[in-house]
A and B are shown apart, each in its own frame.
Chain A
């Protein structure tokens, strides 16, 4: 079993739809949870960063973490064609010095059609 599981899609939705992206994980040591957006041939761009269970909202994006179920979600409201990209979930345990060593899912490719 992989540490982080993410459905690679592809996912295709009409403009304005609500998008739900999900990851599950198996390592109870994971404490930090992130969502990155990656456009084709670019590096990942941080969208959301959460530390604990619960919801975090930033504009049209909402990140949800359920540690009891080992399940995280990203919701995109009023999706736009510019949201078309690959969305990567990433997570990390608490580290001793330095920064988090991220474990990524495979990424979900999203297309928002005008």
Chain B
């Protein structure tokens, strides 16, 4: 059984650019959640995808968008990057049944200059 993987591991962008981050969920998991973790803070929920549809969104602007594919992998897209978008972006996968919980990938560290 493979765990959650994310790519790339590190990324440097400039303000105003666009970025796409990728996540492969753990085998058998059908739900993917994305979190943003700023330095020294706990992760903050961005949104969740369940059966290829957005299933809940945190307090993030529309320039944060995502996709889930039929194989349950997922993308996070951020448009018009701002300096404050610099953070560790975490993907977590789970099987959406009662009392199951989420398993996190290693994250993508994004630096916006």
Residues of A within 8 A of B (CB): 4, 6, 8, 32, 34, 36, 41-46, 49, 51, 88, 90, 95, 97-107
Contact = CB atoms under 8 A, between A and B. Distances in A.
B42 interface: yes
B90 interface: yes
B41 A99 contact: no
Majority DSSP secondary structure for residues of A touching B: loop
A52 to B, nearest CB: 11
Contacts of A99: 31, 33, 48, 50, 94-96, 100-102
Contacts of A32: 99, 101
27 contacts: A4-B42, A6-B42, A32-B101, A41-B109, A42-B106, A42-B107, A43-B4, A43-B105, A43-B106, A44-B43, A49-B99, A90-B42, A97-B50, A98-B48, A98-B50, A98-B56, A99-B48, A99-B50, A99-B95, A99-B96, A99-B101, A99-B102, A100-B102, A101-B45, A101-B56, A102-B92, A104-B43
B42 A101 contact: no
A56 to B, nearest CB: 13
Contacts, number: 75
A44 B33 CA distance: 13
